[in-house]
């Protein structure tokens, strides 16, 4: 079964990209469809069948026990080895899963599914080079089954992207599409790849994303990337339409996807000329009701209220954006919020303690910034003024 979880990829085009790998299953997994001869005693095949039933019910530990019983009777039983590997993998015990899949591969060297699962485990453990090699090998073994081979080539493309081998990733996705023209993952990832700085080609990006949209019109991922693409091309009307459609479709999907789609549309409204501040605020408020700590949302909404002079709303939002739990020093917007808070507590809502606190935080983050020197000058003036007032 093919599936794509739509993991977020924040680089280059800041687009949602599908980096989920397929978890291939053996022709014998689950092996509950196998025909069993009547047995008065417990045979390896019967232990495997019971293990499969336990696995279907989500009782992974019981499934593992039964596969082990099967292997005690037949140490090279492929179904028991393979399914035990899947059970370990389900529990994210990568090394144990790998050992079992390697044994399964020795028992059946022509199992493309086993090779692909070894690729998945290599991916999970961060060895993208081995993952790519395994997926390429699986595609070769499965050459007689175009749709299965297309899945492995799709996985190969994701591994090549992880290795930053952009041209090789493109070629893998192209090969997958040649074998399966309706392969959503390959169409979507190839379109997204063409949005990036390395292989930038807007027309190819649009073509493949629209093909992905045609294959799965109820999925918001390709539609959201098309919105981002059209915005970058200056096609504002098309971008607005696609952002709206993506949000509507995301409402029927998982929580995280809708949150990120609302965030993208809010940013779009803020970038428009003139900015659509009411629409932006509406999206941000909905987003923060759903996730009060969504990265960037408190800061953007806080700056909006600050521009309106609404400090009662602005300050709590800005402070939440940069509190200890949420602050990300690698995000320049977060650093800007600290500077803004120091200014607010100096100029607009004077509070010497807080002005000093945020000025000090900014200094530690940007010690050579001209803005830091300006903050120090202002805080010194505030301190001097307070001291003078006490002396008088």
pLDDT tens-digit map of 137-173 = 999 999 999 999 999 999 999 999 999 999 999 999 9
Nearest partner of 342 among 352, 330, 333, 329, judged by Cα: 352
Report the alpha-carbon distance of residue 335 to residue 110 in Å, rounded: 55
Residue 19 or residue 21, greater confidence: 21
Instruction: Give the total residue count for the chain.
Output: 392
pLDDT above 70 (res 16): no
pLDDT mean across residues, the chain: 86
Quote the tokens at residue 106: 């020795």
For residue 86, the model assigns a pLDDT of: 93
User: Which residues on neighbouring strands pair with residue 16, listed in sequence order?
Assistant: 8
Within 10 angstroms of residue 356's Cβ, the number of other Cβ atoms is 18
Question: Which residue in this structure is represented by tokens 């803004």?
Answer: 340
Question: Which residue in this structure is represented by tokens 């607010």?
Answer: 344
Share of the chain above pLDDT 70, in %: 85
Report the alpha-carbon distance of residue 263 to residue 3 in Å, rounded: 24
Nearest partner of 118 among 135, 106, 141, judged by Cα: 135
pLDDT above 60 (res 389): no
Helix (H, G, I), strand (E, B) or coil at 310: coil
- DSSP conformation class of 33: G
Q: How confident is the model at residue 37 (pLDDT cuts 50, 70, 90)?
A: very low
Least confident of 25-39, 145-159, 242-256: 25-39
Report the alpha-carbon distance of residue 330 to residue 141 in Å, rounded: 44
Q: Is the pTM of this model over 0.85?
A: no
Nearest partner of 224 among 198, 250, 201, 187, judged by Cα: 250
> Quick one: residue 67, left, alpha or beta (phi over 0 = left, psi -120 to 50 = alpha)?
alpha
Share of the chain above pLDDT 90, in %: 76
Task: State the average pLDDT over residues 219-244.
Answer: 96
- Interval 52-96: pLDDT, tens: 999 888 999 999 999 999 999 999 999 999 999 999 999 999 999
CA-based R_g, the chain, Å: 28
Q: How confident is the model at residue 126 (pLDDT cuts 50, 70, 90)?
A: very high
For residue 254, the model assigns a pLDDT of: 77
How many distinct helices (H) and strands (E) make up the chain? 19, 2
For residue 20, the model assigns a pLDDT of: 40
Nearest partner of 160 among 133, 180, 183, judged by Cα: 133
For residue 369, the model assigns a pLDDT of: 82
Task: State the average pLDDT over residues 364-382.
Answer: 76
Quote the tokens at residue 377: 């000058």
For residue 374, the model assigns a pLDDT of: 73
Task: State the average pLDDT over residues 216-234.
Answer: 96
Report the alpha-carbon distance of residue 357 to residue 386 in Å, rounded: 17
Least confident of 158-172, 222-236, 355-369: 355-369
Burial of 148 (0-12, 13-18, 19+ CB in 10 A): buried
Task: State the average pLDDT over residues 107-120.
Answer: 95
Task: State the average pLDDT over residues 104-121.
Answer: 95
Q: How confident is the model at residue 252 (pLDDT cuts 50, 70, 90)?
A: confident
């Amino acid at each position: 079964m093919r599936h794509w979880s739509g993991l977020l990829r924040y680089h280059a085009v800041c687009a949602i990209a599908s980096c989920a790998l397929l978890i291939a299953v053996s022709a014998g997994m689950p092996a509950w469809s196998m025909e069993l001869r009547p047995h008065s005693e417990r045979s390896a095949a019967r232990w495997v069948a019971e293990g499969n039933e336990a696995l279907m019910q989500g009782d992974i530990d019981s499934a593992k026990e039964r596969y082990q019983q099967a292997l005690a009777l037949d140490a090279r039983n492929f179904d028991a080895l393979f399914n035990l590997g899947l059970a370990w993998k389900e529990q994210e015990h990568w090394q144990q899963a790998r050992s079992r899949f390697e044994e399964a591969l020795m028992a059946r060297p022509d199992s493309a599914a086993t090779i692909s699962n070894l690729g998945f485990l290599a991916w999970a453990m961060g060895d993208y080079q081995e993952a790519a090699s395994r997926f390429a090998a699986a595609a070769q073994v499965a050459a007689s089954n175009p749709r299965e081979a297309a899945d492995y080539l799709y996985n190969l493309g994701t591994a090549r992207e992880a290795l930053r081998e952009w041209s090789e990733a493109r070629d893998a996705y192209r090969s997958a599409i040649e074998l399966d023209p309706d392969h959503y993952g390959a169409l979507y990832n190839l379109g997204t790849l063409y949005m990036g700085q390395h292989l930038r080609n807007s027309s190819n990006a649009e073509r493949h994303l629209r093909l992905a949209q045609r294959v799965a019109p109820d999925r918001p991922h390709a539609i959201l990337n098309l919105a981002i693409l059209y915005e970058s091309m200056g096609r504002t009307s098309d971008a607005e339409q696609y952002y709206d459609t993506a949000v509507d479709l995301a409402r029927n999907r998982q929580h995280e996807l809708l949150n990120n789609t609302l965030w993208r549309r809010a940013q779009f409204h803020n970038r428009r000329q003139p900015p659509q501040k009411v629409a932006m605020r509406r999206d941000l408020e909905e987003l923060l009701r759903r996730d009060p700590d969504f990265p960037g949302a408190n800061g953007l909404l806080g700056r909006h209220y600050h521009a309106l002079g609404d400090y009662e709303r602005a300050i709590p939002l800005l402070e939440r954006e940069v509190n200890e739990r949420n602050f990300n020093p690698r995000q320049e917007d977060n650093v800007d919020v600290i500077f803004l808070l120091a200014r607010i507590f100096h100029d607009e809502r004077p509070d010497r303690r807080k002005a000093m606190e945020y000025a000090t935080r900014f200094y530690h983050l940007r010690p050579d910034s001209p803005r830091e020197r300006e903050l120090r000058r202002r805080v010194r003036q505030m301190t001097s003024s307070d001291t003078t007032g006490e002396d008088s």
